[in-house]
Amino acid sequence: MTPVASTTRLNVALGGNPVLFDVTVAIAPGEAVALLGANGSGKSTLVKALLGLTPPASGAVALFGEPPGRRVPWAKIAYVPQDSPAGSGVPASALELVVAAQLTGGRPWPPAGARARALAALESVGLSDRAKDPVAHLSGGQRRRVLLARALARRPELLIMDEPLAGVDAASAEALVAALRAASGTTSLVVLHEPGPFASYLTRGIVLRGGRVHADGPLADVAPQAPADPHHDAPHVGRSQAPRLEVRP
């Protein structure tokens, strides 16, 4: 069976610095995969290389069996980036962004029913009452939900998400994971610090360490090998105290 997404001995460098080393992974249709690893382990870079947003230094990338380019069936793919460009000079409503997210390939206008789909997607992330508000008026967590709605409205077969729940409170995280689950039949690749609310949804885990695949297997087996959320690490507390000691005369 052709993998939905795969890399073969992929090497990527950013600004001359190598970031990924010989990464070979393949994701089969229907799999729900967590991509785990510490900050700087290359998780986001791997996702961007898979989508053709970052060119490989060597090795190969394929989506539905095609290298990133015109022949990839982009209509089957949706991406939730880690962040979206901070406000532009012109306001855009959440609804407009989710309608425009349904464009695919060469056709410059959204398909029929795009508005209804956009409203449904915004409702599924709990933003139906803010659909017509400019995104600049939304909170960080609400903007993250717009990014999720944008992806859900595409009704993808392959959903690639980069830290989709960062900045979202625990209570709404559960609801968002349920909404993602309801988009059933999809293959997912989710970049995460820790499985968290995704634990019951994801089946396989890939752990990156220093730009290499450190572990790959059932999520329950590999998750312990991933570092805990760095924000809860003890050294972090120590670091924040250090400057105070230094500035004392």
Interaction site with other proteins (CB under 8 A): 48, 51-53, 70, 72, 74-75, 77-79, 81, 84-85, 88-93, 95-97, 99-101, 103-106, 108-110, 132-134, 150, 154, 160
Report the nearest approach of other proteins to the CB of residue 224 (Å): 32
**Which CB sits closer to other proteins, 137 or 232?**
137
Dihedral, 93, 94, 96, 102 alpha carbons, nearest 10:
170
In contact, 156 and 187? CB cutoff 8 Å? no
Ranges assigned E (strand) in 47-129:
58-63, 77-80
Q: How far apart are CA 43 and CA 39, in angstroms?
A: 8
Report the nearest approach of other proteins to the CB of residue 171 (Å): 27
DSSP assignment letter at 120: H
Burial class (CB in 10 A: 0-12, 13-18, 19+), 237: exposed
Report the nearest approach of other proteins to the CB of residue 209 (Å): 25
CA-CA distances (angstroms) from residue 182 to 17, 56, 175, 225? 40, 34, 11, 29
Query: Whose CA is closest to 24, among 38, 35, 13, 10?
Result: 10
DSSP assignment letter at 157: S
**Which CB sits closer to other proteins, 69 or 235?**
69
**Which CB sits closer to other proteins, 76 or 204?**
76
Report the nearest approach of other proteins to the CB of residue 172 (Å): 22
Report the nearest approach of other proteins to the CB of residue 31 (Å): 19
**Which CB sits closer to other proteins, 68 or 211?**
68
**Which CB sits closer to other proteins, 153 or 206?**
153
